[in-house]
Each structure stands twice: as structure tokens, then as C-alpha cells.
């Protein structure tokens, strides 16, 4: 589990991070006591159950009253982080629902297409035949593998059209950069370095009574733009996060805080921007932790790879 706390004024942000492998209720409480005396924005990256336990502990310590904002990074598009992720059917559900009204989840922006739904069903069917029955198989890595094959196919086709061969790797690489194309789940944009721009969504609770969670805003990596969705309510009352000025001033050389609060858009935009770099750096760590059992099963891994490659082969045939 990764926990960070973010705070300071707009022009002077500070960050402290904690990387924890095992957590118990006592650790939750000690960690939250420390955070409660320091900075008002908490960023987490952990399993759905761990996030729920942290939010329950925060609620019991009175931290879900508007003085703190909690963000969770979810890199796998897991259903355990979607609408109703606070619900477990136990005696803590009501408490968890109240706590989750102050939690925002940063996840990958997903435009659902029929092609992706078909691809998802094929991959899930292949994995289930190997005896695995987890809910979420088609994550950012499988999707990225498919889109990488598609990008190669498009670049190869263009290189062949201008008279080069498939052995001209440098030319093929050049054709993969600075371009936008339609991937399996939506548009994919590649920058001049060959890196894929990330598009992210922020999920928040829009109806505290019903516990409904919806996407409240989207960050578009290529444009560097964060947009609050107009058809949903802000997760914080009146769209503002209250700041305890005495606590903030202690961490800014006793300089009085002249602002009565940060706008919801400003706070969310700043946090999302700060999360992008840290989130991507942590992706490899959490990928190994989550998918080592899958990769350890050679028959399942190669079956999954074969399924993705067969899909890519159909793409290659369609463009050649």
C-alpha cells in the first residue's frame, strides 16, 4: 500500500509518502493521527478492502468532516472501485457510505466501445478456461498490449506504402510517434518520445443518501486539461474543501493563510496532476504484486497472450 499526504499553498506544495506492505487496524489509526496533525489531502493506492478500512478509521477519528480530502489511485479499472464499492453487506456499510462521501478515486478514463466489449469477453473466456475466476482481467496492461500491436500494424502499413520494408525498424518507430489513432477502448495519443498520453477520470460520491458514485471529472493528458462534468453534483459541500488555517500556518513558517478555501476544481486539478507521475511509477510495483500468480501459471499466461496476439493478427490482416 502507498499513502501520501499533500498540502501547502498553491505556490508551495509539499509531499510526504509512506510505503507499507502490511497494515493492521493499529497502523491505520497511528497513520491517520499523524496525517490529521499535518496536511489536508491524503492520496492512497491499495486494494479495495484496505481503502475501505482506512476510510472507516478516518471516519471514526472525525476526519470526514470537510477538513480533509481523500484520493485513491486505481490503475486497473477494477469493479471493486466503482459505484457502491463501499458496500460489503456487513454492519459497517452505513458508516462506510458516510466515509466514502469524502473519497475520490482517480482511475483510467474509459470510453466503452462494442469492440472493447467483444475483446473483453474473449479474454475473460480464455482466462476462465484455465480455472481462474477473478472478476477483472482486461486491465490497462492487456488493453495496452492490444493497442501496441495495432500501432505497430498501422506504422508498418505506412512504411510499406512509401517504399520501405518491414526491416526498416527506424522508419517504423518514427511512424509510431506524434500520432493519434483509435484503440480498443478509445482514442490513443502518442507523444514525440513514443510515450502514451494518459487520460484519467475522478470518481466521487454524488448522492450521499443513496451512496451513488459517479465520474465527476476527467483529465485529458494530451491537452493537459482537467474538466469537471456539468451533469453531476460536486462531492464537497458548495464545491469547496475547508482548510484549518491554524494547521496550515504551522507548516508554512507561521504565514497566515489568506484563503478561506480552495475551489473544488483547483484542489482536484492539482491533486490529479500530482498523482499522474507517482501513479505511473507505482504501476509496475502493483502490477507484479497483483498479477504474479497469473504470470506464474505458464499455461494461463501463454493462453492469454495467444488470445491477444490472435486479435492483433486480425488487425494486421485488415490493414495489410
User: Which residues on neighbouring strands pair with residue 217, listed in sequence order?
Assistant: 202, 228
**Number of independent structural domains in the chain:** 2
Q: How many CA atoms lie within 13 A of 150 on its CB side?
A: 21
Burial class (CB in 10 A: 0-12, 13-18, 19+), 298: exposed
pLDDT at 100: 94
Residue with cell 475522478: 202
Regarding whether 58 and 6 lie in a shared domain, the answer is: yes
**Residue 181: enclosing H or E segment and its boundaries?**
strand 179-182
Regarding whether 218 and 97 lie in a shared domain, the answer is: yes
pLDDT tens digits along 124-183: 888 788 776 655 556 677 888 889 999 999 999 999 999 999 999 999 999 999 999 999
Regarding whether 299 and 180 lie in a shared domain, the answer is: yes
Regarding whether 274 and 187 lie in a shared domain, the answer is: no
User: Angle at the Cα of 150 (from 158 to 293), degrees rounded to 5?
Assistant: 150
Q: What is the rounded distance in angstroms from the CA atom of residue 119 to the CA atom of residue 312?
A: 11
Regarding whether 271 and 261 lie in a shared domain, the answer is: yes
Regarding whether 166 and 277 lie in a shared domain, the answer is: no
pLDDT band at 278 (very low <50, low <70, confident <90, very high): low
Q: Dihedral (C-alpha) 268, 273, 276, 282: value to the nearest 10 degrees?
A: -80
pTM of the shown model: 0.67
Regarding whether 225 and 212 lie in a shared domain, the answer is: yes
Q: What is the rounded distance in angstroms from the CA atom of residue 176 to the CA atom of residue 186?
A: 17
- What letter does residue 230 receive in the DSSP assignment? T
- Give the mean pLDDT of the chain: 73
pLDDT tens digits along 203-224: 999 888 999 898 899 999 999 9
Q: How far is CA 247 from CA 12, 250, 252, in A?
A: 15, 5, 9
Q: Which three cell numbers stand for residue 123?
A: 479474454
Query: Count of CB atoms within 10 A of residue 104's CB?
Result: 24
The domain that holds 144 is classified in CATH as 3.40.50.2300
Q: What is the rounded distance in angstroms from the CA atom of residue 178 to the CA atom of residue 155?
A: 12
Query: Bigger pLDDT: 213 or 81?
Result: 213
Regarding whether 46 and 141 lie in a shared domain, the answer is: no
Regarding whether 223 and 163 lie in a shared domain, the answer is: no
Which range marks the domain in which residue 123 is found? 114-196+294-319
Regarding whether 163 and 83 lie in a shared domain, the answer is: no
Regarding whether 167 and 53 lie in a shared domain, the answer is: no
Regarding whether 261 and 130 lie in a shared domain, the answer is: no
Cβ atoms of 195 and 201 within 8 Å: the answer is no
Which range, of 82-91, 183-192, 284-293, 299-308, averages the lowest pLDDT? Answer: 299-308
pLDDT at 46: 82
Q: What length does the chain have?
A: 320
User: Angle at the Cα of 292 (from 291 to 296), degrees rounded to 5?
Assistant: 120
Average pLDDT over residues 48-59: 89
Amino acid at each position: 500500500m502507498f499513502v501520501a499526504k499533500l498540502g501547502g499553498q498553491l505556490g508551495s506544495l509539499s509531499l510526504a509518502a509512506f510505503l507499507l506492505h502490511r497494515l493492521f487496524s493499529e497502523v491505520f489509526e497511528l497513520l491517520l493521527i499523524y496525517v490529521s496533525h499535518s496536511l489536508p489531502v491524503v492520496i492512497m493506492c491499495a486494494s479495495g478492502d484496505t481503502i475501505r478500512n482506512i476510510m472507516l478509521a478516518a471516519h471514526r477519528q472525525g476526519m470526514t468532516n470537510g477538513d480533509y480530502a481523500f484520493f485513491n489511485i486505481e490503475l486497473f479499472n477494477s469493479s471493486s472501485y466503482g459505484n457502491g464499492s463501499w458496500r460489503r453487506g456487513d454492519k459497517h456499510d452505513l458508516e462506510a457510505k458516510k466515509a466514502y462521501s469524502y473519497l475520490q478515486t482517480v482511475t483510467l478514463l474509459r470510453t466503452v466501445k462494442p469492440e472493447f466489449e467483444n475483446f473483453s469477453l474473449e479474454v475473460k473466456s480464455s482466462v476462465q478456461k484455465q480455472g481462474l475466476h477473478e472478476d477483472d482481467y482486461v486491465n490497462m496492461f492487456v488493453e495496452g498490449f492490444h493497442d501496441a500491436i495495432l500501432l505497430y500494424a498501422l506504422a508498418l502499413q505506412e512504411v510499406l506504402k512509401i517504399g520501405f520494408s518491414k526491416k526498416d525498424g527506424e522508419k517504423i518507430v518514427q511512424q509510431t510517434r506524434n500520432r493519434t489513432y483509435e484503440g480498443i477502448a478509445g482514442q490513443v495519443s502518442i507523444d514525440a518520445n513514443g510515450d502514451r498520453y494518459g487520460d484519467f477520470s475522478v470518481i466521487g460520491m454524488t448522492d450521499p443518501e443513496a451512496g451513488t458514485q459517479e465520474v465527476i471529472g476527467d483529465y485529458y493528458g494530451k491537452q493537459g486539461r482537467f474538466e469537471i462534468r456539468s451533469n453531476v453534483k460536486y462531492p464537497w459541500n458548495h464545491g469547496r474543501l475547508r482548510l484549518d488555517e491554524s494547521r496550515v500556518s504551522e507548516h508554512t513558517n507561521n504565514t497566515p493563510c489568506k484563503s478561506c478555501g480552495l475551489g473544488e476544481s483547483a484542489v482536484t486539478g492539482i491533486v490529479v496532476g500530482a498523482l499522474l507521475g507517482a501513479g505511473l511509477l507505482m504501476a509496475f510495483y502493483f502490477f507484479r504484486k497483483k498479477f504474479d500468480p497469473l504470470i506464474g501459471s505458464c499455461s494461463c499466461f501463454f493462453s492469454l497472450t495467444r488470445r491477444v496476439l490472435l486479435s492483433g493478427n486480425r488487425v494486421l490482416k485488415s490493414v495489410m
